[in-house]
Every structure is written in C-alpha cells, then in structure tokens.
Structure 1
C-alpha cells in the first residue's frame, strides 16, 4: 500500500504547520500551530503551572458542529499527554492547534469522524514538531474497519466504513505503548485483539529475530510502518533546512 504524503511548514505565518494526505481516502488536512501564545479572554481557563492546549477542527468551508467538537476533545486529550507544557515560557500560555480539511473526502453531518481521526492526529503532530513545541514522545495512528465477514480493512474508504460492522482507531506512542483506542460498532474481545495486532504492525512494523538473536523491526505486509513515514518526513525537512550547511562542509 502506498504511504501517506506529508509536508512540513507549508504556511508562512504560523509558528508551525503541516499538510497530510491519506491516499486511500483522499483526505487532505492542513494544520497550523501557534505556541506559546496569549489566550485573550481565557485567563480563568489558563493553567498556572503548564500550557493550555486548544484544538480547533474545521470541516472545509462548512461551520463546525457536534462531530468536530467531539473529535477536538479526543485530539486535545492525546496532545495533552505529549506536550511538555511545564517547559520555560509555556506555563500560563497557550498552544493553539488548528486543523482544516481542504480536500478529499469530508465527514458529513452525523457521520463518524473515526475515518479522518488518524490524519488529523498526524497533521497535529507534524505541525507541533514544525513549531518546535517540546514533546515527550511522538506517535502514529491508524483506522481499521471490520467487515461482516471478519475481514480487517486498513484505512477504509467512506463506503467501506459505512458498511463495516465496527470501526477502530488506535494510536501507539514511539515507545510502543497504546496511546489511544476509539471504537464503534459491535465486536468481541477476540476481534479487538486481532485489530490491535494489525494496528501495531501498521504503526510500528512486525518484529523478527535474526540469526544473531537480536530483535529487529521489519516492514509489515502493508509496506513501511507509519512511524517510519513520520520520521522520514521530519528528516527530509531537517535536511532541506540545513542543506546550505551540509553543502558548505
């Protein structure tokens, strides 16, 4: 499967920004981060010892609704575990993350946001890295659909998600810990275990023991693990930023 396309710093007037496109759904997300910033009119909501994280999800040109508010809470909870808000300059300040759908499949009123959630999470992570916001770790996320026949489908299309028996979004930290588990539909524990193993392979790859006894991470059947895609995107941006210095050596 062809991996997602990601770009850092596409916006010039934000502290950090990123774009992320998932090839299976065509979803194209543009994200921006401003941090640390003052939050006017929200002094009562500011935390005295750490940063306050604000997340806004905008569905293209349509006004935001209940679905956007719901997914904003999920993203805010994940980012709150990553951002080192006690670092110097961040207490009593804000980290504002804005995510907008600018192309591809969009989520209609009343439809599930789970199909778009991994793309939103990856865009937010890359934008935070672009803004040099201090993080304790990174993560990777994927969405899986389980059909009536029990088939597990990676990155399902809108039609596949609508016909699925259950939908699952799982995110794993760079340390391999389960960071997020959002599911909907009917499923049993055995099905969830299969989904968990497939999601872990997609995000981190599968482990293999070599002839020397060392455990190494290898690419899974779906192609390069998402963690590698995130890392390569960051490395490519760093190489572009410091190409002048590398060429001068």
Structure 2
C-alpha cells in the first residue's frame, strides 16, 4: 500500500490547518482555531483551556457516529494539549475535522450499525497535524493505527475495505511519542490473548520499537522506515523547510 500524504496550512483563514489523505480511500481536512477568547463566559475555565472538537461529514448532516467520535477525540486531545498552561487559561481551542472521503461510506464517519473505527486513525492524524500547524502547545505527539483480526485469527495491519468487512474484530490504538498507550478502541469478538497480540503489533507499528530484520523499523506499508512516526515528523520538517527557505538561502 502506498504511504499517506499530507499538507500543512492549506486553509488561509484558520490559525492552523492540515489535509490528510490515506491511500485506502480516506481524506480528512482539519482546521484549528485558538487559543482565543471564549465568547460564552459560562464555559470559560479560570485554570485551563476549553477544548471543542467538531467532526463534520462531507455530505449531509452530522449524526450519532460523528457525535461519538467527537467524544473519543476530545478525550485523547485533552491529554495531549497543555490545557493547564498559564497562557491557555480562559482560552478556547476549536478543532474542526471534515470527512471529505471515507472508503466505507463516502463523506461520513459511519453508517447506521457500521463501524467508525476504520476512519479513526485518519481523524487522529489530521487533528495532530492541524495542532502542529497552529502551534498549539502540546505535552507530546502521538501516532495511531488500525488492526483487524481475520476469521482465521490473522492480524491485519491497515486492512483493506474487504478485510474490514469480513474481519471478526477491529482495533484502533494510539501511542504517545513517549511510548505510552493513549487510546484503545475495539469492536467485535476477540479474547485477551488476541488483544495483547494486537497491542504488541500496534506498538511496533506506531512507536517503531520492533524490527523487520534486525535493524529496520517496522513499517505501516512494508517499506523500511516508513512508519507513522516518521511520516508525521517528515511532514512537519518539510513545512518548516518551506517556510524558512528564504532564511536558509540567505545563510
């Protein structure tokens, strides 16, 4: 499978923005505004920032799937952003994620009775890139991946659409840049040993703690070194290099 692509600051009027495309058929547009003054005094917190996460479908109106995913994202991002930084008190951060494409159901998070897990890693990565673009203070970064368990009990990293539909369970895990588990969302039938195997594989994929043949990183698409962690880092480095090209040329 080809590697994902991303661009930072594609939107002109947001404090930060990002476009994230996963080659399996997912495209997310993220915008981040803040930290700014909160218009409503009743939601201001004198000691920390207020976080609002909005997930918008590319077509139609938001449904229960979008509302549920907003809660999942808010719980993780609230631990990543330095909400209690002294410069963040009484401020607000608004993250808006638009589902432009979804391989399962185009333009929405899920269908009634379907799974939202297949698109969750793309939403997480788009939100992270948007936060980095906006310069929001964070305690850490993170990476996420999707793993399916097939009917024959095989673990499938970044499964195809057909593999997702025939799998017995789906799992999304996210690890911080420090190697700590931040998120574990599962759906389907599985046992404890299978979850532990999923955890070990996801940790290798996200945090690059394992090796393929002794000295190469575990990868997300079979290409040595092409890990989610490296992808995020290289995307930010490319943007910084582009923004400071004039300074590098003058040096």
Q: Normalised by the size of structure 2, how large is the TM-score?
A: 0.91
What RMSD, in angstroms, separates the aligned Cα atoms of the two structures? 1.8
Is residue 86 from structure 1 mapped to residue 88 from structure 2 by the alignment?
Answer: no
Match of 1:17 in 2: 17
Match of 2:249 in 1: 247
* Runs of at least 5 residues in structure 1 that lack an aligned partner in the other structure: 209-215
2:152 aligns with one of 146, 149, 153? 149
Matched residue SS, 1:10: coil
Q: How far apart are residue 102 of structure 1 and its match? A: 1.3
Q: How far apart are residue 109 of structure 1 and its match? A: 3.2
Aligned counterparts of 1:122 and 1:231: Cα–Cα separation in 2 = 12
Bigger mean CA deviation after superposition, 44-53 or 28-37:
44-53
Q: Tell whether the 8 Å contact from 2:81 to 2:139 is kept in structure 1 after alignment.
A: yes
Q: How far apart are residue 88 of structure 1 and its match? A: 4.0
Match of 1:231 in 2: 233
Aligned counterparts of 1:103 and 1:186: Cα–Cα separation in 2 = 28
| 1:104-119 to 2 correspondences below 5 Å | 104-105=102-103, 106=106, 107-119=110-122
Q: How far apart are residue 116 of structure 1 and its match? A: 0.4
Q: Normalised by the size of structure 1, how large is the TM-score?
A: 0.91
Deviation track 1:39-70 (CA, whole Å, cap 9, x = no partner) reads 333x2222210101100001112111111111
Q: Tell whether the 8 Å contact from 1:206 to 1:217 is kept in structure 2 after alignment.
A: no
Q: Tell whether the 8 Å contact from 2:117 to 2:172 is kept in structure 1 after alignment.
A: yes
Deviation track 1:197-220 (CA, whole Å, cap 9, x = no partner) reads 111121122446xxxxxxx97321
1:55 aligns with one of 53, 56, 62? 53
Match of 1:198 in 2: 201
Q: Tell whether the 8 Å contact from 1:78 to 1:179 is kept in structure 2 after alignment.
A: yes
Aligned residues: 241
Matched residue SS, 1:156: coil
Deviation track 1:58-114 (CA, whole Å, cap 9, x = no partner) reads 111211111111100010011000111233432111100000011342332332111
Match of 2:38 in 1: 39
Q: Tell whether the 8 Å contact from 2:210 to 2:218 is kept in structure 1 after alignment.
A: no
* Runs of at least 5 residues in structure 2 that lack an aligned partner in the other structure: none
Match of 2:141 in 1: 138
